[in-house]
Structure 1
Amino acid sequence: MNKTDTLYNCLNLNVPSVLIVLESHITRTSLRCFLEAHGYRIIEAATSEDGLAAYERERPDIILADIDMRHTSGLRFVSELQEKYINLPVIVFSGKKSLPAALEAVRRGAWDYLAKPINEDELEVSIQRALEWCRLLREIIHYREQAEIKLRESEERFSQIFLQHEDAIILFNFDTFEIIDANPAATDLYGYSRSELLCGFPWPFAGDNHAELRESLQTGLGENSRFDIFRITQFRKDGAPVDVSIRGKLITLMDTTVVYCSIRDITRKIMLEDEVRNTQAKMIQVNEMASLGMLASGIAHEINNPNNFIMFNSTLLAETWYEVLEVLEETAAEQGDFLLGGRRYSEVREEIPRLIAGLTEGSRRIHDIIETMKTAVRQEPDGFAAHVDVNRIVQMAMTLLSHEIRKQGSNITVELCDGLPHVRGKAQLIEQVIINLVNNALNAVAGNGGGIRIATSHDPADGFVIIKVHDEGTGMTRDVLERISEPFFTTRFESGG
């Protein structure tokens, strides 16, 4: 049994036990009778050696010992007990001549001393006080052990949270800003080893922002013992930037004021937020285009009405002209050349059919352009079930681009393969791809006089219909090529590209 076991022996039994170590049999018997009458269980020993053996065997709650033993040293007996059993309550007896020895015994750890002859009332009070002290001491030690257990459990929980937390955590000294610990998430975030992170300020990952970071930390900690930095750019060991948010507060750790910092990588979050903003901007643009499409559809309807009159009347005018022509020819044969609308008939007789034909062709072109625009803005059903004529789609795309082509004066060659089979797809999407490719080609050759060639072909072996757009422009840089597959990437955003 170790030294602290003695503390738990007190009051372990319903009846407290007392070991009496006295050479005088008469005195032992007298004390025995008195204490048993007061409810104690008594163990007797005549010498210090017997007393030590009795204690080892019985483990009494308290010991009464005589300092004035002839055959052994009472002081040595007390010393041996206190060396082996800490806080064991021992009450010593001594005569007046042995008072210095009794005081020495108390100095060596005895609980109390009583002068001989022993006053039984004083003895009872001393025993009760010793047992009460033993009980209180046991409660104190039990409470301390429970507190130590809870402290260890709390430290273990903190350690597990610290080590397993997904956010990077660093602890640094409030006064010196020296990092005193960092969890594995912090080493993963910054790419530094733990030993590399345990350093003074400026921290290796702070970069050029260390002054701003320290000012933010000092301001927040000085005002309310906590701080929040919603976004700051720091740097990994390889130099790569990383956007983080930092939250921190003052805590006490091992009697030292330290700052607990939780650091979260928000690079991905910021990227997603930027993508959301860009998508929202594009959706607004799409809505504007949809409104423009509805407006264009209304305008097309308004243009179609007078254009139908022009087309119908030009046809009627042509038929009328050919009927009138016979009369005019007869008049010219009889009277010779004459004026018609202020011009000689011989001049206008060939010109008027061309004018009427031009009027009819112009009306037809207006009709074709309007139909092409209506097709471009019309929503097709989902899926790719429709059979489409690729050559016809190319022609429609060129009609839509005719104004841009004339404006740039580009030299464009269109070669459409005869007998091209129909393909299954969405005409609107194919047309949009062709328009985008030709627009890119027009921009590529702008200013250099280069040509553009658009060709369709058929590969019977693979069953593919092929559309090629070739331009003699300057081409793309390496940076543009690396980003060519990114959604919504363009080098002409400001110009609507």
Structure 2
Amino acid sequence: MVSDRRFRLLWVVGVVVALNLIAWILADRFILANFRQLEEERIREQTVRALNILGQDQEYLRRMLVDEAYWDETYAFAAAPGSTVMADNFTGDTFESNRLSAVVVIAPDGKLLFSRGYDLEARRLAALPAGLAERLPALQSLLGNGQADSARAGLLFGGGENPLMVAVAPILTTAATGPSRGAMIFARTLTPGKIEKLKSLALLDLKIHLASQSGGPPGVITLVRAGDETISGHVDLPGILGRHRGSLEVTTARTIYASGRASVEYFLGWVLATSLMFGCLFYWLLDHMARQSEKGISRYRLLFNGNPIPMWVYDAQTLQFADINDAAIAQYGYSRDEFKSLTILDLRPDSDAEVVREGVSRLIADGREGQVIPRAVGVWSHRRKDGSPLEAEVSVVPFRLNGRWSVLASALDVTEKLAAEKALRSSEDRYRQLFQNAPLPMWVVDMESLRYRDVNQTAIDKYGYSREEFLAMTIMDIRPPEDIERLRESVFRAKTGQEEVGNWRHRCKDGRILEVEIVLRDIPFAGRSARLVMANDVTEKENLRREADQASRLAALGELAAGVAHEINNPNGMILINLGLLGDFFRDAEPLLEEIWRREGGVSLAGLDFGLLRRELPEAIAEMQKGARKVRSIVEDLKNFARPAQSDQFEPVSIGEVIETSLRLTASAVKKAGALLVTEIDKELPPVMGSFQRLEQVVINLLLNGCEALPEPGRELAVAGRALEDKGLVQIVVRDQGVGIRQEDLSKIFDLFFTTKRDAGGTGLGLSVSDRIVREHGGKLKYDSVPGQGTTVTLTLPVLPRPKEKD
């Protein structure tokens, strides 16, 4: 007894030590590893955010340069550089307000037409920033043949102690036409003061180094930990000329890891205390169970004698019966004394002898290891005293009786049950093999109740309902409401026998509508009139046919749109320029005309009194400019529709930032509509590969459509962003409580020039362009609408696959 207690104590101590060691290993491998991963994700996110801010600053500089380079006055100056236009335009105030360090104009042959530098910190004119002058030819060569889309911006390293942010663009007319008359360059020195402003804007601790720090390719973020204090993200910044490159460093404190480590230490302390407490309790339980073992045997005997199931006890070594209950005596025909003279082998076929001995040996070995639990050992063949066979379902449990291992067994006669099950399986298998293995969806329908009586696995997979759901439904439940009446007529008109009843529409559990080709036959089923139905899905075939027709129409329409856009854009640009000139002329002439009007007591121009003309003409010019800009917007939409996006220009895009930027840009429209804005956006949405601006264009269009659909203030406009990680997708959902869209219009909303807002100025281009942009990104745009209740738009995009982590 003392030896057993010592063994149990050592066993419990070993378990406690092992549990604490495992807890430490698991905590380090999973909990701390998760905190380190979370820390890495955070510094990567901050580094990407810093890169985006730097990229937005470059894009702003490029757009500012394009506005100046694509200007008729600049174009004229490049042809006649003797004028003072550039000197007059680029004064100290201009440099200050645009935060420029240099402006340079170069002729096509490389001749310097104009250059002016400015020291933003000293606030005075200065020489060109170091390293810029000798790189002017190289910067000009980036423009190629000087097309309108060749303007670019980037960073310039290696010229001085501070990097330069430069933008270069060809000199073209205001209409962005050529030929190019050279190049124009804007430069901005990234001084420590400018870096500080970027830090305050990004709310990050960042630095820009003049040389590569990570040693990796541009765009790849390298992480560096400084002990337990800080973690830094390093990413190389490519130079615009490709010769030199610098790097961006973003640093943050390791607060996440420190918090995780403190949590792990607290957790391990709790595990140690808990394991010691449960170890003591477990030791007491083991000792108590050992003392109760003998008492348990007597309880088993009480249950044994009165059990209606045949039971016996036999010695594990000799296999001789030691005790038998009355139910076993009645089932096998032996008396109690006859039983005690037999062994368990006398009830079994001779071929089972070796199997029985091996099974008893394993059972006793398990019992010695403490596995004293009942177990079913299957159905075995037994024989009665009269030689008749029976099939018995046997369960056994080992235990110690009078110091020897014995086996308690029960043997339930299942002979009749097995025979009935075998006959039933034989008849069912023939039906199931044909029905379940059919490659097409099939079901059996009761013709009186129209309920499903059986369905095959193909139907379950195709329609999405479980077998239980199918059997609780009628055939009406998978039909669209508008097809119910036709179905009733078909059910009562159909003739007995095989019948081809044509195409029908079926509705899946997820709402998808399938076009199916139905073949059916009337059959008896379980004594009732039933119908066997087979459904062949022809949805894809029909969709392919419709899509082919639509694609051919859209291709022709795209070519027409591109030609019309080109023909309209040039005269419309001239109208905008001349309207601006007319407005400037009237403002300049207004004081002179007013003086004459007052002196002569009235002046008439074009048959109108000057007093009336002074009020009406500016408004007429403004309305004409507004109309011309709307024409330009429509032309741009037509060009976007006809011009597919270049997938090789896609880059990783943060969907969260797309949503946030779109919400900021549409804030005034949401406020004007009086909408109650509700947002539910996951904190860490996975990135997608695509164009930030074009995806932003789609989301803004959806938000504006939602605002315009609200009939009155106080209605809800909800925006959600969520990740479907198990499907590798990310979704943006925009839901409004607006007037909704009629069902007959839903299928046409993506058609070019289709609009329900023609009276409000709608062009029918917004959703056509948005749908094209989404499809070019490999995504899907889905509209669900209930008239009078609102519309839900779901934008689904594939996420950017995460790189596999190296061991």
- Tell me if TM exceeds 0.5: no
Which protein has the larger Cα radius of gyration, Structure 1 or Structure 2?
1
Give the structure with the larger strand fraction.
2
Q: Which has the higher helix share?
A: 1
TM-score w.r.t. the length of structure 1 is 0.34
